[in-house]
Amino acid sequence: MEKTVSVAEAKNKFSDLLNRVIYRHERVKITKRGKLVGVIMSAEDSRRLEEFEDRERVKRVRALKKSTKKYIPFEQVVRNYEKKWGVDLGLDFTEGGNVRE
């Protein structure tokens, strides 16, 4: 169940509202000039909300990783650089080699 009160009422009845949250498991919405400005909720509700937000954050990171370009091997980066700038960096990418002669 939810209860909606003004800021002034919340200030005057804070202890009562907090008891409703703790013992009746209610959420109390606080309004100022008719607009919702806050909510008093139980610690358990807050914990669940944080867990949900964490899961959603992980989902967004995973989706972002999938949507970005894949890994480009260092050798390909060097080859592209050499081709673009017309230079030879002298690197050898054969097994066991590291400098072209």
pLDDT, one tens digit per residue, over 45-67 is 999 999 999 999 888 888 877 77
In which residue are the tokens 């091997």 written?
A: 73
Cα-based distances in Å from 31 to 23, 87, 90: 22, 67, 69
For residue 2, what pLDDT is reported?
84
Q: Considering the chain, what is the average pLDDT of its residues?
A: 87
pLDDT, one tens digit per residue, over 1-17 is 789 999 999 999 999 99
Which are the contacts of 53, defined by CB distance < 8 A and separation ≥ 6?
none
Fold of 2-67: YefM-like fold (3.40.1620)
Average pLDDT over residues 76-101: 78
- Report how far residue 76's alpha carbon sits from residue 46's, in angstroms, rounded to the nearest whole number: 49
For 33-94, list the strands marked E by DSSP.
Answer: 35-40
